């Protein structure tokens, strides 16, 4: 490398890092993942270490990068808010190296005892300085550039966790508490759900957030506190700034960092319980591994852990180097976000017919594994993120979560101008399922496109068979997930009617399928051939047709062919059938392959009892005098009938079963441990029956 090359690269890296830091710290809109920033930062550090003459005072390696936004009052920190060194070696050796550095600085030998450390979490939020005077919160300021931050007091006062007054008497004259403002993961998901709802309603200037850190930072730095108040912000304290009067000459200050955190907790400040006091490198390694194993189950994001020499007197002995304390380090975990190139977008058809765009990527190591595919969720998400083939994208993988594309890295204006066309799923597929060629559709108000092939789409085959065989559908005993996997994967079943052509020999050849199990399945298939029209309709898996609607359709039309031929207007005459359901039924039966499947099922012997109007009751539910058109609610445990059995008897006799008690309820059938529904029935004066009373009513012995 020539003499000019390191200087040129160092200048280039400084400019890049300053630009990205501005977007991250000031605009709260990062352009690259943390791992990529760290990589560039380490490259600059290496150049400056090899060429000290290139180390400038304004280098990102020599200062905390940040700034004050227009509209905020600048706050000069009494004690600078410096950052700590980041150990990017994510292996146990990273903790061992830190311990070795500390022991070397303290001139300790192998004969000396291990150092005691306070180990805690590295929260992924926004650093904050809270200033209390005489125990009262008077100011909150961001880190900014470490020397000067922004006054965000009004916004921080909206965080309920942060006390306005400390719980201590007498309080220190001045106590600056440092910590992290963050958003919990569940609160973040709820926030984005609200944002999506606002966008769907046409609200302007609204957006969803890429991650909790950006959402938290954006909320803190709102000029309008009312906006910050709507964001679910939280706070953890982890250190001190200026302190005056914590006892005489600050003599009451705890001697250890862990004791300091305990004291802050006693003052009423939130302090994370995920911390420990450990001994030496071995203790640090165990803590790093334990938190790493639980990282994805924590209720908030972290990107590592922090080790601090616990003894505060030793901290003072160790002091600082440039911009970092020698007595602390942040030990990271493998990056959960990386950059790579989007090579293409495939469309995957799910078990229920949902069409999901899948990103085909240049392989990249992220979250502990090599990723070449990532979900794009749906067409709306692809358009919102403006993801296009050829883009450099940010891929995230956390734990066992499916990798996903979270954003695009916007390059130069020339690259932007040459980007491909916006993604259009319908146009891309020419309106047809890529697996079976059936039309695809998306109902009003829904984000997902779906294949309408249903029964005949190979991608949906397993789900269609399992639904068809379900207990509340055709009730085929012995046909479960694992067996369906074998039947479909082995090519024994391609369509529903082929279930009824299975023979003993084919079944016995399957894994873990003995003669008895095979015979039982065949018996179950034979028994399922006699069913009700409502069950058969439900078994077909028509979108939006549940058990109750299927029974309402059967009761209204009394004949399958009439349902098949019914116009949407006629379908709308059925109880509780609206435009969406009517359109779904009509669309299903309009497809010739669905009608063919039904005829094939009839041909293999499936039959049901049909009538012109009200369905015929089961033989053991004879009289329907007090039942037809009446509404029942079942509650508690009946002596002999299961809830499903009681429901079937009532519906077969012309009644309707609902889930809640109201003035429109005619009967409540109550067993043991009936609970609140029985109380509601008594309150409203609804007639209450026990099992015997229900059976008597069904037999026509009650009016």
Give the CATH number of the domain where residue 49 resides.
Answer: 1.10.287.610
Q: CATH no. for residue 522? A: 1.10.150.20
94 and 15 housed in the same domain:
no
Q: Of 609, 643, 667, which one is at a domain's C-terminal end?
A: 609
Q: Give the dihedral sign, CA 196/202/203/209.
A: positive
Tokens describing residue 579: 């435009």
| DSSP classification of residue 418 | T
Are residues 346 and 44 in contact, defined by beta-carbon separation less than 8 angstroms?
no
Are residues 359 and 387 in contact, defined by beta-carbon separation less than 8 angstroms?
yes
Tell me how far apart the alpha carbons of residues 651 and 641 are, in angstroms, rounded to a whole number: 14
Burial of 143 (0-12, 13-18, 19+ CB in 10 A): buried
The mean pLDDT of 330-344, rounded to a whole number, is 88
Residue 448 belongs to a domain: no
- Enumerate the H helices of 51-184 as residue ranges: 92-105, 153-156
pLDDT of 246 above 50: yes
Residue 317 belongs to a domain: yes
459 and 494 housed in the same domain:
yes
266 and 414 housed in the same domain:
no
For residue 62, the model assigns a pLDDT of 66
Q: 47-56, 107-116, 541-550, 594-603: which range is least confident on average?
A: 47-56
User: Of the ranges 62-71, 95-104, 201-210, 384-393, which is most confident?
Assistant: 95-104
Could you report the per-residue pLDDT of 72-112, keeping only the tens digit for each?
A: 899 999 999 988 998 878 899 999 999 999 999 999 999 99
Residue 162 belongs to a domain: yes
For residue 617, the model assigns a pLDDT of 33
pTM reported for the whole predicted model: 0.56
For residue 204, the model assigns a pLDDT of 77
Chain-centre distance for alpha carbon 561: 44
Give the chain's mean pLDDT.
87
Q: Of 332, 359, 391, which one is at a domain's C-terminal end?
A: 332
353 and 482 housed in the same domain:
no
356 and 311 housed in the same domain:
no
Are residues 253 and 315 in contact, defined by beta-carbon separation less than 8 angstroms?
no
The length of the chain is: 703
Residue 235 belongs to a domain: yes
What contacts 24+ positions apart, CB below 8 Å, involve 655-660? 655/627, 655/628, 655/629, 655/630, 655/631, 656/548, 656/629, 656/630, 656/631, 656/632, 657/631, 657/632, 657/633, 658/631, 658/632, 658/633, 659/633, 660/633
The mean pLDDT of 395-406, rounded to a whole number, is 79
The mean pLDDT of 437-445, rounded to a whole number, is 87
Could you report the per-residue pLDDT of 108-152, keeping only the tens digit for each?
A: 999 999 999 999 999 989 999 999 999 999 999 999 889 999 999
Residue 67 belongs to a domain: no
pLDDT of 498 above 90: yes
The mean pLDDT of 312-333, rounded to a whole number, is 92
Among 122, 385, 551, 647, which one carries the catalytic annotation?
122
Tell me how far apart the alpha carbons of residues 352 and 461 are, in angstroms, rounded to a whole number: 9
For residue 24, the model assigns a pLDDT of 67
Tell me how far apart the alpha carbons of residues 58 and 10 are, in angstroms, rounded to a whole number: 12
Residue 435 belongs to a domain: no
For residue 26, the model assigns a pLDDT of 57
Q: Could you tell me the pLDDT band of residue 476, with boundaries at 50, 70 and 90?
A: very high
Residue 68 belongs to a domain: no
Q: Which domain holds residue 557?
A: 532-609
Count of structural domains within the chain: 6
> Does residue 630 or residue 200 have the better pLDDT?
630
239 and 119 housed in the same domain:
yes
pLDDT of 620 above 50: no
Residues paired with 545 in a beta bridge = none
645 and 515 housed in the same domain:
no
For residue 522, the model assigns a pLDDT of 93
pLDDT of 569 above 60: yes
> Does residue 549 or residue 644 have the better pLDDT?
549
Query: For residue 566, what are the contacts with CB-CB under 8 A and spacing of at least 6?
Result: 557, 585, 586
The mean pLDDT of 479-489, rounded to a whole number, is 92
pLDDT of 266 above 90: yes
For residue 160, the model assigns a pLDDT of 85
Percentage of the chain with pLDDT > 90? 51
Q: Of 579, 609, 639, which one is at a domain's C-terminal end?
A: 609
49 and 190 housed in the same domain:
no
Are residues 336 and 305 in contact, defined by beta-carbon separation less than 8 angstroms?
no
Residue 226 belongs to a domain: yes
292 and 379 housed in the same domain:
no
pLDDT of 241 above 90: yes
pLDDT of 611 above 70: no
pLDDT of 69 above 70: no
421 and 459 housed in the same domain:
no
pLDDT of 405 above 80: yes
Residue 111 CB: number of other CB atoms within 10 A?
A: 5
Residue 122 a catalytic site member: yes
425 and 460 housed in the same domain:
no
pLDDT of 411 above 70: no
Q: Could you tell me the pLDDT band of residue 676, with boundaries at 50, 70 and 90?
A: confident
pLDDT of 461 above 60: yes
> Does residue 675 or residue 355 have the better pLDDT?
355
295 and 377 housed in the same domain:
no
For residue 203, the model assigns a pLDDT of 78
Tokens describing residue 275: 């911390």
Which of 282, 258, 274 has the alpha carbon at shortest distance from 99?
Answer: 282
Residues paired with 408 in a beta bridge = 393
């Amino acid at each position: 490398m020539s003499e000019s090359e390191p200087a040129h690269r160092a200048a280039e890296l400084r400019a890049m890092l300053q630009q990205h830091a501005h977007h991250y710290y000031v605009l709260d809109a990062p352009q690259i993942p943390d791992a990529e920033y760290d990589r560039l930062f380490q490259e600059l550090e290496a150049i400056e270490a090899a060429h000290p003459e290139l180390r400038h005072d304004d280098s990102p390696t020599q200062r905390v990068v940040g700034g004050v936004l227009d509209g905020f009052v600048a706050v000069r920190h009494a004690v600078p808010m410096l950052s700590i060194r980041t150990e990017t070696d994510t292996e146990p050796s990273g903790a061992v190296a830190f311990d070795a550095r500390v022991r070397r600085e303290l001139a300790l030998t192998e004969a000396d005892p291990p150092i005691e450390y306070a180990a805690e979490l590295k929260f992924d939020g926004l650093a904050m300085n809270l200033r209390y005077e005489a125990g009262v919160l008077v100011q909150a300021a961001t880190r900014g550039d470490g020397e000067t931050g922004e006054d965000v007091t009004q916004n921080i006062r909206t965080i309920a966790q942060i006390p306005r007054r400390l719980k201590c008497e007498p309080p220190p004259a001045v106590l600056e508490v440092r910590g992290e403002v963050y958003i919990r993961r569940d609160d973040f998901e709820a926030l984005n759900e609200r944002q999506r709802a606002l966008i769907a309603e046409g609200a302007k200037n609204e957006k969803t957030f890429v991650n909790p850190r950006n959402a938290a930072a954006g909320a803190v730095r709102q000029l309008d506190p009312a906006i910050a108040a709507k964001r679910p912000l939280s706070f953890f304290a982890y250190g001190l700034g200026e302190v005056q009067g914590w006892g005489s000459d600050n003599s009451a200050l705890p001697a250890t960092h862990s004791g300091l955190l305990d004291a802050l907790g006693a003052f009423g400040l939130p302090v994370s319980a995920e911390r420990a006091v450990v001994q030496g490198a071995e203790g640090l390694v165990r803590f790093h591994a334990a938190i790493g194993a639980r990282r994805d189950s924590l209720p908030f994001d972290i990107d590592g852990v922090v080790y601090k020499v616990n003894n505060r007197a030793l901290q003072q002995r160790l002091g600082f180097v440039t911009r970092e304390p020698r007595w602390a380090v942040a030990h990271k975990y493998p990056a959960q976000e990386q950059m790579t190139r989007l090579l293409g977008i495939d469309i995957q058809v799910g078990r229920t017919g949902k069409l999901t765009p899948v990103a085909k990527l240049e392989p990249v190591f992220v979250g502990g594994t090599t990723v070449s595919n990532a979900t794009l969720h749906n067409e709306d998400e692809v358009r919102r993120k403006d993801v296009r083939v050829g883009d450099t994208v940010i891929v995230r993988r956390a734990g066992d979560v499916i990798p996903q594309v979270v954003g695009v890295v916007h390059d130069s204006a020339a690259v932007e101008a040459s980007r491909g066309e916006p993604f259009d799923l319908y146009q891309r597929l020419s309106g047809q399922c890529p697996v079976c060629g059936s039309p695809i559709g998306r109902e009003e108000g829904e984000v997902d496109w779906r294949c309408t092939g249903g029964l005949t789409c190979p991608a949906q085959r397993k789900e269609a068979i399992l639904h068809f065989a379900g207990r509340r559908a055709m009730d085929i005993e012995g046909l479960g997930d694992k067996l369906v996997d074998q039947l479909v994967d082995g090519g024994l079943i391609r369509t529903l009617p082929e279930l009824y052509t299975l023979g003993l020999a084919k079944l016995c050849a399957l894994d873990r399928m003995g003669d008895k199990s095979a015979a039982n399945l065949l018996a179950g298939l034979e028994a399922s051939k006699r069913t009700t029209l409502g069950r058969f309709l439900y078994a077909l898996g028509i979108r939006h047709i549940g058990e109750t609607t299927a029974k309402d359709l059967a009761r209204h039309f009394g004949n399958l062919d009439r349902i098949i031929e019914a116009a949407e207007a006629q379908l709308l005459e059925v109880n509780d059938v609206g435009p969406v359901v009517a359109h779904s039924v009509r669309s299903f039966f309009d497809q010739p392959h669905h009608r063919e499947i039904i005829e094939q099922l009839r041909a293999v012997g499936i039959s049901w009892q049909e009538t012109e109007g009200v369905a015929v009751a089961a033989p053991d539910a004879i009289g329907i005098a007090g039942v037809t058109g009446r509404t029942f609610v079942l509650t508690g445990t009946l002596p002999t009938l299961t809830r499903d059995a009681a429901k079937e008897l009532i519906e077969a006799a012309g009644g309707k079963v609902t889930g809640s008690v109201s003035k429109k309820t005619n009967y409540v059938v109550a067993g043991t441990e009936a609970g609140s529904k029985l109380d509601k029935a008594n309150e409203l004066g609804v007639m209450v029956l026990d099992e015997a009373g229900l059976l008597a009513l069904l037999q026509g012995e009650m009016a």
